[in-house]
């Protein structure tokens, strides 16, 4: 397969590679850092180089959906482990379904495993997008669908980076010490 020529796809791959490399770095002081670092570096960064250079093959394109399935299954397992800690009762009679959904998502993100689920969902979406780029000569021209997917992924990664840096109260309720992370150095209380 020919190397990817699309500027939007190449830009996304560079930004995603930087984001997932930062995710790997953030795992340094986690007790179970090795598998997370391997996943973020392997699937989020190194696989980008394979796809952008055109080294992909039909085998890789056929394996990636299984990788996405494995990531999603593990994310489901992590959600299952925190299920008893989640309060799924409605927020009140005047609360909309959006308010209730937002409250549930926030409860999930307060747990270390919930934040890991968020990272896994981003990684699964990223690998799925790589599959679209790698499959059936999609790398020659991305078309509007792939450009839109690249934009959505950049926005998702940007939103995650914002929450990661500027929402320290995600870790405040349970204060998992190692979750203060590699990027907490120099963080001020007014952020």
For residue 59 the two structure tokens come to 């085998």
**What residues does each domain of the chain span?**
7-180
Percent of the chain with pLDDT over 90: 20
Q: What is the mean pLDDT of residues 9-37?
A: 88
User: Out of 59-63, 96-100, 108-112, which region has the weakest mean confidence (pLDDT)?
Assistant: 59-63
Residue 110: pLDDT band (50, 70, 90) is confident
Residue with tokens 């870790």: 171
Residue 1: pLDDT band (50, 70, 90) is low
Q: Is the pLDDT of residue 77 over 90?
A: yes
Q: What is the DSSP string of the chain?
A: -PPP--HHHHHHHHHHHHHHHHHHHHTTTSTTHHHHHHHHHIIIIIHHHHHHTT---HHHHHHHHHHHHHHHHHHHHHHHHHGGG---S-S-TT--HHHHHHHHHHHHHTSHHHHHHHHHHHHHHHHHHHHHHHSTTTTS--HHHHHHHHHHHHHHHHHHHHHHHH-GGGGTTT--GGGG-TT-TT--TT-
Q: Per the confidence metrics, is the pTM higher than 0.85?
A: no
pLDDT, one tens digit per residue, over 25-54 is 888 878 888 999 999 999 999 888 887 776
Q: Is the pLDDT of residue 10 over 90?
A: no
Q: Given this model, what pLDDT does residue 160 score?
A: 85
Q: Is the pLDDT of residue 185 over 50?
A: no
């Amino acid at each position: 397969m020919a190397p990817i020529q699309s500027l939007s796809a190449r830009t996304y791959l560079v930004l995603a590679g930087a984001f997932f490399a930062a995710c790997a770095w953030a795992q340094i002081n986690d007790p179970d850092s090795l598998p997370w670092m391997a996943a973020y570096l392997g699937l989020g960064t190194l696989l980008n180089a394979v796809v952008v250079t055109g080294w992909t093959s039909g085998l890789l394109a056929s394996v990636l959906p299984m990788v996405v399935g494995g990531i999603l299954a593990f994310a489901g397992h992590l959600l299952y482990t925190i299920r008893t800690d989640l309060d799924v009762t409605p927020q009140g009679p005047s609360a909309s379904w959006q308010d209730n959904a937002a409250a549930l998502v926030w409860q999930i993100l307060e747990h270390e495993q919930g934040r890991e689920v968020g990272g896994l969902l981003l990684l699964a979406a990223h690998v799925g997008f790589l599959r679209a780029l790698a499959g059936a000569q999609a790398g020659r021209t991305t078309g509007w669908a792939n450009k839109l997917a690249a934009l959505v992924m950049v926005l998702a990664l940007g939103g995650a980076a914002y929450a990661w840096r500027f929402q320290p109260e995600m870790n405040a309720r349970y204060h998992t010490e190692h979750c203060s992370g590699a990027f907490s150095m120099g963080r001020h209380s007014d952020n």
